[in-house]
A and B are shown apart, each in its own frame.
Chain A
Amino acid sequence: MSEKIKKFMYLNRRAPYGTIYAWESLEVVLIGAAFDQDVSLAFIGDGVYQLLEGQDTSESDMKNFSTTYKALGDYDVTKLYVEKESLEERGLTLDDLMPLTWEDEDDDWAEKDSIRLVSRAELADVLDDQDVIYSF
């Protein structure tokens, strides 16, 4: 293809349930993954709750879609930036999040971590480097 592969960033800023933003974002990512794009996701603010381990929606009317994040690796979406400050402000650490991995076909299917913990300043640089940013 002659067109340059663009860098797409999906910025997730909201808690997973209560609004449809998190699920919509995930669906757009999965649909968009069919095209040749360089896809990244970032989780900031209440968005970090989307990756929390052990989500339980049985008391609400919403489907627990947290396991769908584990399919992202199959869709070659392997860059999930999590802002360190957002975790800290909520009393969370990386250990509170689901382990998300992808398998590197070029490295004998080695399992690699998808989540990249970055500081606010580092994330700003990542965002600066994108061609397109979608904010959810």
Chain B
Amino acid sequence: MAIEANGKVYETDEEGYLVTLADWEPVVAEEMAKEDDLELTDEHWDIINFLREYYEEYQIAPAVRVLTKAVGKKLGKEKGNSKYLYGLFPYGPGKQACRFAGLPKPTGCI
């Protein structure tokens, strides 16, 4: 599988996750969101950027429970709950947001 953005082709795996992490560009997230019928807002980008920073630091995509707790601590309590995160990413803040962020499927996601 692959997605196309700005005339460039980005290879993805059978679940739609980017194969090469280093290929990621913001336009990849926008294209993936378009396919999911989502428009990315600043609130989405807060989470996507947060995930990319988390991966940079720990070399893993966090499980939803860990993400929720960490977002609450970093972006404020009103955002650190699954209702808010699922509101932004209806297919799951772990799976969908990590995919947009160009990360592998979260560790601990079954």
Residue of B59, B66, B110 near A75 (CB, 8 A) is: B66
- Of A27, A67, A75, most buried by chain B (CB within 10 Å of CB) is A75
Contacts of A67 in B (CB 8 A): 57-59
The answer to whether B108 and A74 touch across the interface, beta carbons within 8 angstroms, is no
The answer to whether B108 and A68 touch across the interface, beta carbons within 8 angstroms, is no
- Tally of B interface residues using CB under 8 Å: 13
- Tally of A interface residues using CB under 8 Å: 14
The answer to whether A68 and B66 touch across the interface, beta carbons within 8 angstroms, is no
Do A31 and B57 contact each other (CB < 8 Å), given the known contacts A74-B62, A74-B69? no
What is the minimal beta-carbon distance from A98 to any residue of chain B, in angstroms? 12
Q: Is the interface of A mostly helix, strand, loop or mixed?
A: helix
Chain A, residue nearest B63 (CB)? A34
The answer to whether B59 and A64 touch across the interface, beta carbons within 8 angstroms, is yes
Flag B58-87 by CB within 8 Å of A: 1 or 0 each.
Answer: 111011011001100000000000000000
| B residues with CB within 8 A of A | 57-60, 62-63, 65-66, 69-70, 107-108, 110
